[in-house]
Each structure stands twice: as structure tokens, then as C-alpha cells.
Amino acid sequence: MIRIPGTDYLRYKSVFHGCRFPLAFVDLDHFDRNIAYVADTCKGTGKTIRVASKSIRSPALLRRVFEKGGDVFQGILAFTMEEAEFLIENGFDDIIVAYPSIQPPDVKIFTENTRQGARLSLMADSFDHLTALSRAGVAAGVILNICLDVDMSYRPLGSRLHLGVRRSPLRSVKDVLALALAAKDLPGIRIVSLMGYEAQVASVNDDLPGHAVKNTLTRWFKKNSARELAKRRGEIVRALADAGITLEVVNGGGSGSLISTARDPSVTEVTAGSAFFAPGLFHYFHQVTFQPAAFFGLQVVRRPAPGIVTCQGGGYTASGEAGPSRLPWPVLPRGLKYIGMEGAGEVQTPLVLPKDAPVLEAGDPVFFQHAKAGELCERFNRLYLVKGKKIADEVPTYRGEGHAFL
Ligand SMILES: Cc1ncc(COP(=O)(O)O)c(C=O)c1O
């Protein structure tokens, strides 16, 4: 469980004195500690870590992960083909685009970059995906690298209970083997890797304050799920090997499952992205603890009543199931609360101060974390990089580079 020290309020306030708000920043000391922590989770396992770029969305910070983290960090899990091309242009290599797309502009990027020698793969989970890519590969005279996506959800009661994301229809050994064998007969493509993302382990909090019973139950489900999926994943990998299909990569997991996924013998690499910014939804994990590193600051512009301040901007709601956890998390000063009828507003965000809070005046900052990691960068062109009590640098986000990939 994470608790952001209240003293950080005065530090960040003084760092940004005189700056224009709203602003977003990354605390480099915390970011670097997260890089070292993530690297440590794989120590002694022989696994490498693939960086989920959607959870960073800034080339400079992506680069920092590889520079500071060393060889254990290998490759990027990208979220669109256009993004992959942008990353290749920026000097990154070994990219798996984690979500399928067979629209012609994406397929063109895929074939052209493959022709130019990029190490690039695209996710697929159906015969339709494979035939479209096969046709494109043949037409372009290249062999396209394909990663198969396997559903790693947990279904303890069969189809009556689905815990996990709804993405790939491939679930059983039989499903995966049938598609992989079909792919063997298709020209212009080859299966090089397998990915299975266990969202029900990697992205579900199980150390929520004040929820002891729920936490215990969630951990129990996660443990059972990790056991079930490790068995199934192992069987799938073995069946593919027996059929002569050699996988270069077996990818699994995410930030919240770094430890359990790295222990899975059939996995060759684990994905991590949100771990580096450690946003609101990554505060409460039992097995892993990150340092909150990415924040945004708003300025108090008015005081509508005693005990309430109103900030300029702030409605940076996260994707996913709509609910209070997707609102930005006001973290500094500690104890600030939204007003239920307003939440985080398009241009104004009122906040209720706790009884013991310092007085906030117009012009004072309030600091938040986005609920999710990379989405913060869709609201800001630049990120300040803070080191100790100083702004060390400023770097562009994807948006600042003129890109909105999704
Ligand atoms: C395919 C896939 N792998 C891994 C992850 C985990 O990413 P993160 O570490 O940012 O939670 C995600 C997140 O949505 C994902 O979609």
C-alpha cells in the first residue's frame, strides 16, 4: 500500500512556484526507483521485461527506462501500428503491437517497416486476421511476424463467470493449436510469439485500505487464477513446440502481476508500464509496491465557501468502467475530497478541505494523480521532470509531438 508523504506538498509547491498551471510532471527520483524495483522483480528468473508504451507515452521517458534499467528491459509493447512506426523513427526496436488491426493504413505501415528490417510484430487471434495479413505479406513480398493473443481470463464457473478482459477468442490448447497450424499453411506470415494478459491478476487492487475481507477474497481468486493460467499457458506452449512451432517470445502479465508472472515457467518475458508512473489505480497491490511518480497540478482560483476551494481545470477522467476510482486522485495536500454532484470538472473542480488542512489561497497549487498511467499524457504537451527540489528538464509527451494515436 502506498502513502504519499504530506511533506511533498510543500516541496512540489516550491518547485513550481511561478509556473503556469495546469501542469504535469514526473518525479524522477520516484520514476528511477520504480525502474530499479521492476528490474528487481525479475532478478534470478531469467525473464526480461517488455515496456508497455501506452502507460508512458513520452519518448524521452521510455528511453530513460531502457537507459537506467539495463538489459533486463527488452522491447516495447505498443498500442497501435502508427505508434510503433513513430517509435521506430525515434530509434526504438523490437516492438510488438499488442492489439490487432487489419485496416489498410496499418497493414501498410507493418509491411513497409518489416521490409526495412524493423523487428515488429502484430497481434492476431483469428483466421480473418491471419488471412488479411498473409495477403498483405505476399503482396509486399515480406514475411510478417505475428503474435497470437490467448485469453488468460479466469472462469472458475465456466462461461457463467468471466474474470478478466474480453479480447481474444483463443483460450484452450485446441483453439491456439488450430490457429497456429492454419497459419503455418499461409504464406507471407509466421507465428513468432504468444501473449496472454492476465488482467484479473495484473490490474485488480488487493490491498485496499479498510477492505480486509475483500482483499483476502481477491488475493485468493488471484492465486487460483495464476495457478490455472500457468498450467494452461504451459500446455499451450508445449503443444505448439510439439507441432514444430518455435516461439521466440511468450509474453504475460502487467505491472500488478510482475511477481506471479515472472514465476511462470512458460513465460519468457513480463510486461510492465503503469509501474513507472504508479498512478492512482496502482496504489493498492499486495505483491508489488511502486512510488507514485507522475502527477498533475491545478491552481486554486476561488474559494466558494469556507472549507471549499475551486481549481481551474481538472476533468481528466480515466477510461474503463465509469466510477469514482476513474476520477483524478487529489493527493496533495492530503485528505481533499470531491463534491459528489460535481466531481472533476471540465473547467472548474471544487474540492472539500479536510478539517486539519492548511489554508489554501487563490494561487496555491493542488496536486493530483491520474487514475491511469499514460492517459495523463493525452492532456498535456509537456512533462516537467523534477529532481529533488528542482525542475531538471522538460520533455514532450506523444501529444506534444503532435500525436494522438487512439
Ligand atoms: C496486453 C497488455 N499487456 C500488459 C498490460 C499491462 O500494462 P501495465 O503494466 O501498464 O498495467 C496491458 C494493460 O492494459 C495490456 O493491455
Q: What's the pLDDT tens digit per position in 285-303?
A: 999 999 999 999 999 999 9
Q: How far is CA 111 from CA 147, 195, 338, in A?
A: 15, 21, 49
Check pocket membership of 200 for ligand 1, CB cut-off 6 A: no
Kindly state the helix (H) or strand (E) to which residue 401 belongs, with its residue range: none
Gap from CA of 227 to ligand 1 centroid (Å):
20
Which parts of 156-289 fold into alpha helices (H)? 173-184, 199-202, 212-242, 258-262, 274-277
257 close to 269: Cβ distance less than 8 angstroms: no
Check pocket membership of 332 for ligand 1, CB cut-off 6 A: no
Kindly calculate the radius of gyration of the chain based on its CA atoms and give it in whole angstroms. Answer: 22
Q: How far is CA 302 from CA 305, 306, 368, in A?
A: 9, 11, 18
Check pocket membership of 4 for ligand 1, CB cut-off 6 A: no
Q: Where does CATH 3.20.20.10 sit in the chain?
A: 28-277
User: Which pLDDT score is estimated for 254?
Assistant: 98
State the number of CA atoms in the 13 A half-sphere of 352 facing the CB. Answer: 9
User: Which pLDDT score is estimated for 5?
Assistant: 86
> Dihedrals φ, ψ of 400, to 5°?
-65, -25
C-alpha to C-alpha distance for 79 and 102, rounded to whole angstroms = 14
Check pocket membership of 52 for ligand 1, CB cut-off 6 A: yes
Q: 114: Cβ–Cβ under 8 A, 6 or more apart, which residues?
A: 120, 137, 140, 142, 143, 144, 145
Q: Is 155 helix (H, G, I), strand (E, B) or coil?
A: coil
Gap from CA of 320 to ligand 1 centroid (Å):
13
* CATH number attached to the domain at 28-277: 3.20.20.10
User: Which pLDDT score is estimated for 187?
Assistant: 98
Check pocket membership of 255 for ligand 1, CB cut-off 6 A: yes
Q: What is the mean pLDDT of the chain?
A: 97
Homologous superfamily, domain 294-400: D-serine dehydratase-like domain (2.40.37.20)
Amino acid at residue number 215: N
C-alpha to C-alpha distance for 142 and 126, rounded to whole angstroms = 20
* 99 CA: nearest ligand 1 atom: 1
- Residues of the chain with pLDDT below 50 are none
Amino acid at residue number 243: A
Gap from CA of 80 to ligand 1 centroid (Å):
13
Check pocket membership of 291 for ligand 1, CB cut-off 6 A: no
Length of the chain: 406
Check pocket membership of 374 for ligand 1, CB cut-off 6 A: no
Residue 98, class by beta-carbon neighbours within 10 Å (0-12 exposed, 13-18 middle, 19+ buried)?
Answer: buried
Gap from CA of 348 to ligand 1 centroid (Å):
32
Q: Where does CATH 2.40.37.20 sit in the chain?
A: 294-400
Check pocket membership of 274 for ligand 1, CB cut-off 6 A: yes
